[in-house]
Structure 1
Amino acid sequence: MTSVVSPPRTIRIGSRKSQLALVQTYWVKAELEKSFPDINFEVHTMSTQGDKILDVALAKIGDKGLFTKELEVGMINREIDFAVHSLKDLPTRLPEGLALAAITERENPADALVVHEKHQDKQLDTLPAGAVIGTSSLRRLAQLRNKYPHFTFKDVRGNLNTRLAKLDAGEYDALILAAAGLQRLGMGDRVHQVIPKEVSLHAVGQGALGIECRADDVDLISLLKAIEHPPTRDRCLAERAFLRDLEGGCQVPIGVNTEIDGENLALTGVVASIDGTQLVKDTVTGKAAEAEKIGTELAQLLRQQGAQPILEEIFAEIQRGLK
Structure 2
Amino acid sequence: MDKYDVIKAIGEGAFGKAYLAKGKSDSKQCVIKEINFAKMPIQEKEASKKEVILLAKMKHPNIVTFFSSFQENSRLFIVMEYCDGGDLMKRISRQRGVLFSEDQILSWFVQISLGLKHIHDRKILHRDIKAQNIFLSKNGMVAKLGDFGIARILNNSMELAQTCVGTPYYLSPEICQNKPYNNKSDIWSLGCVLYELCTLKHPFEGSNLHQLVLKICRARFAPVSPRFSRDLQSLIPQLFQVSPRDRPSINSILKKPFLENLIAKYLTPENSITPSHLEQDHQLLNLLGKWSKAC
Per the normalisation by structure 2, the TM-score is: 0.32
- Higher RCO, 1 vs 2 (CA within 8 Å, ≥6 residues apart): 1
Query: TM-score scaled to structure 1, two decimals?
Result: 0.30
Which has the larger share of strand? 1
